[in-house]
Amino acid sequence: MIIQILIPVSIIGGLSLLFGLGLSFVSKKFEVESDERIALVREALPGANCGACGHSGCDAFAEAVVEGNAKTSGCPVGGTAVSNKLAQILGVENSEVEEKVAQVLCNGTLQNCKKKYDYQGVEDCASASAIYGGPSACLYGCMGFGTCAKACPFDAIIVEDGVAKVMDGKCTGCGVCIKTCPKNIIKFVPKNDRHVVTCSSLDKGNIVRQACSVGCIGCMRCVKACTAGAIKMNDSLAVIDNKACTNCGECVKVCPTGAISALYLVPPELCRTVSKS
């Protein structure tokens, strides 16, 4: 009776012991050295896995930073705080982060911009834009199906009045929306420097006027009014160079259609358009 119990117990016990010893031996023998700083760096990262740094995720970025293949400032989501922490962990000089946010450069709301046709397909910008450039009368306008809002890992985009808006404070500048927008009308702007032309249309002024009441018609009044010479024309679209812009606000005053605004992000508590009007 005792033997009948003892034999299986000892065999299983012996096997387990053997396996355990074998495994520990093999794991010592085949050990892969990994830098313990990788874990520390990974800990300090926001962990959103958004891929804005250009690596496949936070793990890959941590590895790259430790190996010296990426800058400590490479994480746009974490900003300066994370950059400082990483520099501390690695004991290297901190590289500056230019904090930036995304902005949808279109103000073609339902009231402002006309429709070409009535679209009743899948609620997706890419599908809609495949049909005759989308239902919006402007070829460069936001269609408002919220593909960027769905893609945003931080829920920082809302669609209001048929136009996507980036919420102030929530946007981390990861750039996922910029990649998803089929119209390419989402751009980065520096976080504290927010004078932008809220229009992306490269069409001639009369075509813009026919489609939308708040588009840039290329009148060049802002170019002349700019005290810093920061506004250039790209075909018939005014573009503000944020590096040169002094935020004086002269361009906002002279724009006849209201296509330039000082603050186009939506404060989360308000969630409504703040523009010149």
Partner 1 sequence: MREMIVIMLSAILVENFVLTKFLGICSFLGVSQNLSSAVGMSGAVVFVLTIASGATWATNEFILKLFGLEYLQTLIFILVIAVLVQLVEIILKKKIPALYKSLGIYLPLITTNCAVLGVSILNIQRDYSFVQSLVYGFGAGVGYTLALVIFSGVRWRLETCDIPETFKGLPITLIAAGLVSLVFFGFQGLFTR
Footprint on this chain of partner 1 (rule: CB under 8 A): 7-8, 11-12, 15-16, 19, 22-23, 26-27, 30-32, 122
Q: How far is the CB of 171 from partner 1 (least distance, A)?
A: 28
Spatial separation of the C-alpha atoms in residues 200 and 182, rounded to whole Å = 13
Q: How far is the CB of 215 from partner 1 (least distance, A)?
A: 34
Determine the 3-state secondary structure of 165 from DSSP: strand
Q: How far is the CB of 35 from partner 1 (least distance, A)?
A: 15
Which residue lies nearer to partner 1 by CB, 6 or 110? 6
- Cβ atoms of 86 and 39 within 8 Å: the answer is no
Q: How far is the CB of 74 from partner 1 (least distance, A)?
A: 22
Spatial separation of the C-alpha atoms in residues 82 and 270, rounded to whole Å = 29
φ, ψ for residue 56, nearest 5 deg: -75, -10
CB atoms under 10 Å from CB of 128, counted, come to 22
φ, ψ for residue 190, nearest 5 deg: -60, 145
Spatial separation of the C-alpha atoms in residues 225 and 148, rounded to whole Å = 34
- Cβ atoms of 260 and 222 within 8 Å: the answer is yes
Which residue lies nearer to partner 1 by CB, 16 or 206? 16
Tokens representing 216 are: 């840039």
Which residue lies nearer to partner 1 by CB, 182 or 215? 182
Which residue lies nearer to partner 1 by CB, 121 or 267? 121
Which residue lies nearer to partner 1 by CB, 19 or 253? 19
Q: How far is the CB of 6 from partner 1 (least distance, A)?
A: 12
Handedness of CA 266, 217, 257, 126 (dihedral sign): negative
Residue whose tokens read 């593909």: 147
Which residue lies nearer to partner 1 by CB, 29 or 243? 29
Q: How far is the CB of 31 from partner 1 (least distance, A)?
A: 8
Radius of gyration of the chain (CA): 27
